[in-house]
Structure 1
Amino acid sequence: MIRYALLITVLAVSTIACAEERLVLQQALRRLSGEEAFLREKYTPEIIHQLDNTSYTKKTYKNLLKRRYESINEARKIITERLRHLPPESERDSVEQKVVYLDPGHGGSDPGAAIIDPAKKDNDTTAYLITENTVNLAIARLVKRNLENCGIMVILSRDSEQTTLSLDTRSALCRAINPDIAVSIHLNSSEFAFPIFDQPDTALPELNYTRVYVWGPSERDLLYPMYWYIHERLQNSHAYEESVKLADMISRALKAELDVDFVLSSELEQKLASVKQRRTALWKEKNPSTPVAPPEEEPKIPAEIIQRNRDASRQYEESIAPYKGISGKDLHMARETLDVPAVLVEAVFLSCPDEQNRLLYEDRTECIADGITRGILNYFENNSKQ
């Protein structure tokens, strides 16, 4: 009787969870339609022509909006397909769970950072020992399991190693789902971990730290199409402020879980400086007559625009200055989520041999997932107290 009652309880919880996920996805389809209608009304062909004629960069509204409409259509197909695999609809008019959007970076034709298996032939570039794509997805699945065990709904951007998704589609899915938070999961890699010209002193393979990113546009970035609109929108919401809080919680949890610092030690900083100096000298020695292309002529930008963008960029820098584990960068998944608090995690460096061994032969994937999970739970717990 107890076992039967437990089964009924599990089935009931599962039914509620599926019903809430169905509702979230149905709402997502409506948001996609709403976003498309808003963009078409706001950016008419005449407005697009006017904006692009007065642009200070080569990036255009025309191309940006073309990609945006394509990504909306792709997101619509993905959500419709996921709805098709959910159980039949049941009565549910509100979502009571927290919703987290997890985006395992790369996938499909894009392996991300990859380490070639030394046992394979030198010219066999598909013989990877380990790829970021695979590890990112494994981490995301573990975080999903952990959070769902805590009663949190988790929606993945992809749940297959074979799935190739553009950044525009990933962000379109996020905006449509409108989760409480969004976390993109990545592993870092450094060109300085690998030698050039077969010279060992041009590499620092032990380079390794953990870092979480929020949007941090430079003054030039803010000249790009829609960037100033995104900046103004963030000023009128708490999304960026919440992104910083979330990044801080996750970075601190990862540091504790992985025993990896936020920054390089002073010794490694000195070694890295030496490696960079050696690489520069060696490159000049091997390529003494490499022609330097003349700089492209920059458009004349009004002084008030330059100052406006400089002040805005400094504002982002100052907001994260107190947090050692956070960096600001113009990353798509930290920018295009708009009103959703969003961060991008670079847990460790895949280019570090020690991390490769831990990921292959130890429980490093679980540790990374536990750190991200703990950071997310700490964020929700902290917000519930406010």
Structure 2
Amino acid sequence: MAAAAVTVTTPQGAQEVFARGDLLDALAVLRLAGVDVQFAAAAGSYNASAGDHQVQFTPGGSLAVVDGRLTRLPGPLRQLEGHVVCAPATAAVLLAPFGWTLSGSDASLELAHASAGEQIEVSVVRAPTGTTLVVRGTKQRPQVAATRGAVALLFATPVTLAKPIAPEAELLGGDLRGTTLTLRLAPGAEVANTYPLDDPPRFVVRLGTAAPVAAVAAPRAGPLVVLDPGHGGGDQGAKGPGSELEKDITLAVARATAAQLQAAGVNTRLTRDGDDTVSLTDRTALANRLQATVFVSIHANASLARGAHGAETYYMSADASDAQAAQSAARENASASPDTVQLILWDLAHVANLNNSARLARSIQERLNELQGIKDRGIRQAPFVVLTGATMPAALVEVGFLSNPDEAARLALPDTQQQIAAALAAAIVAYLHEPTPTPATSPAGTPTP
């Protein structure tokens, strides 16, 4: 690569782009592809967007949030002489969601539209446990946008349909336009969760039945809060001496909190509204897609010390603040893959909204402290996978210890669940009404738009 510039050939012609050694200007290459790039001063990160796709990244980091999902980059981005630079392989990953490729030698690179790639086929699989829509032939994990009566899958690179989508059961039909596959659903059907599978590669959309509580996802007008009832489906979480299940308690508390927030005029969405299996990364991915204002994950704790009791609130950290925090994170991260856990061990200087997450956690803990019989265990930090990649203030609350017989019995009571919900709702409303601190300044050499 040339000492001061590299030639990048585009459909519009050749362009010279700033380069140093084997690094080139990432922002310039993105803009050559027609991608809008803006600097978010409060988060200290860049937001690249085009069409329905969005990529967020931070100079000094080797992770990016691609369409709501945390992604490891081939190499880090750096600030250099007023430019944000990276290796061509890293730039290629940033370009891929927008349908572009970057290839070539060190002296000359080619920026081109991605060619027609995977050929996909959609089928319906019905089973006693429910109906799934299976998209076969893709290794991609598309962005999912669910609306009433339809679900749109937004692929990062082009795909083609092997054959037309025929109506069957809950699937009324579908069409592919560009990189967006839209599947039309029968009345009453909605997306419960989505996940990729390998061998052979496919993407699965599991359907459920619309429930009345889903009304909390009202049309957006003002702040949107996403509540995450921990665990669910085959992952029951902690279990109390009286067979109290964490997954049931968290769902009850989340539903009650959602109802109280909605009554206060705050739009609310649940990551699950039934006994569903939802991956840890899918939970924050949903919040990111909805551009939520706040994300709160609700859990119940467990400890080898049967006398441990009380509530505690966490926000994101690469390192646990103490041994108890480390144990809580290890337990809640148990359902994540080792690769996913490794993704969260990153420099906290590059975590957006960290200060606001601390304010949110403090507001929650203060309200929980006011509840009779709940011991103040304080605000803590720990590397929870479910908080990884959240692009909004996020906190995880442990409402009590199911390993404590007395507390477990109390947490299973509807009255207690309502009290906790009232405290959580009051805390979130108080946080939303707090004045926002003055944003941080731009990194050195970076102009603020």
- What TM-score, normalized to structure 2? 0.47
Secondary structure of 1:336's counterpart equals coil
Task: Give the aligned partner of residue 307 of structure 2.
Answer: 206
The one-letter code sitting in structure 1 at the alignment partner of 2:358 is V
Task: Give the aligned partner of residue 333 of structure 1.
Answer: 386
Relative to structure 1, the CA distance from residue 362 to residue 146 in structure 2 (aligned partners, 3 Å threshold; closer, same or farther) is closer
Secondary structure of 2:228's counterpart equals strand
Task: Give the aligned partner of residue 377 of structure 1.
Answer: 429
- 8 Å contact from structure 1 (residues 258, 368) kept in 2: no
- 8 Å contact from structure 1 (residues 186, 346) kept in 2: yes
Relative to structure 1, the CA distance from residue 171 to residue 40 in structure 2 (aligned partners, 3 Å threshold; closer, same or farther) is closer
CA-to-partner distance for each residue in 1:40-92, whole Å, 9 max, x for gaps? 996599848xxxxxxxxxxxxxxxxxxxx9895374569954996699xxxxx
Distance in 1 between residues matched to 2:139 and 2:429, nearest whole Å: 34
The one-letter code sitting in structure 2 at the alignment partner of 1:360 is A
Aligned CA RMSD, in angstroms, stands at 4.1
Structure with bigger strand share is 2
CA-to-partner distance for each residue in 1:217-274, whole Å, 9 max, x for gaps? 139x9x944744x63433xx5x1110000100000101102432223xxxxxxxxxxx
| Identical positions, percent | 25
Secondary structure of 2:310's counterpart equals coil
Task: Tell me, yes or no, if structure 1 residue 353 matches structure 2 residue 375.
Answer: no
Relative to structure 1, the CA distance from residue 37 to residue 116 in structure 2 (aligned partners, 3 Å threshold; closer, same or farther) is closer
The one-letter code sitting in structure 1 at the alignment partner of 2:252 is A
Relative to structure 1, the CA distance from residue 132 to residue 96 in structure 2 (aligned partners, 3 Å threshold; closer, same or farther) is same
How do 1:34-113 and structure 2 match up within 5 A? 35-36=66-67, 43=74, 47=89, 72-73=141-142, 75-76=144-145, 81=151, 95-113=220-238
The one-letter code sitting in structure 2 at the alignment partner of 1:173 is L
CA-to-partner distance for each residue in 1:185-210, whole Å, 9 max, x for gaps? 00111123xxxxxxxxxxxx221021
Secondary structure of 2:287's counterpart equals helix
Task: Tell me, yes or no, if structure 1 residue 245 matches structure 2 residue 359.
Answer: yes
* Count of residue pairs the alignment pairs up: 242
Distance in 2 between residues matched to 1:179 and 1:260, nearest whole Å: 29
The one-letter code sitting in structure 1 at the alignment partner of 2:264 is C
- What TM-score, normalized to structure 1? 0.54
Secondary structure of 1:257's counterpart equals coil
Secondary structure of 1:383's counterpart equals coil
The one-letter code sitting in structure 2 at the alignment partner of 1:211 is E
Report the Cα offset of residue 380 of structure 1: 1.4
Relative to structure 1, the CA distance from residue 173 to residue 70 in structure 2 (aligned partners, 3 Å threshold; closer, same or farther) is farther
CA-to-partner distance for each residue in 1:2-61, whole Å, 9 max, x for gaps? xxxxxxxxxxxxxxxxxxxxxxxxx9x93579935998996599848xxxxxxxxxxxxx
The one-letter code sitting in structure 2 at the alignment partner of 1:231 is L
Structure with bigger helix share is 1
Distance in 1 between residues matched to 2:69 and 2:426, nearest whole Å: 37
Relative to structure 1, the CA distance from residue 46 to residue 167 in structure 2 (aligned partners, 3 Å threshold; closer, same or farther) is farther
Task: Give the aligned partner of residue 136 of structure 1.
Answer: 250
Task: Give the aligned partner of residue 30 of structure 1.
Answer: 52
Task: Give the aligned partner of residue 6 of structure 2.
Answer: none
The one-letter code sitting in structure 2 at the alignment partner of 1:73 is P
The one-letter code sitting in structure 2 at the alignment partner of 1:376 is I
Higher relative contact order (CA 8 A, sep 6+): 1
Distance in 2 between residues matched to 1:190 and 1:96, nearest whole Å: 41
Distance in 1 between residues matched to 2:318 and 2:71, nearest whole Å: 26
Task: Give the aligned partner of residue 257 of structure 1.
Answer: 371
Task: Tell me, yes or no, if structure 1 residue 145 matches structure 2 residue 259.
Answer: yes
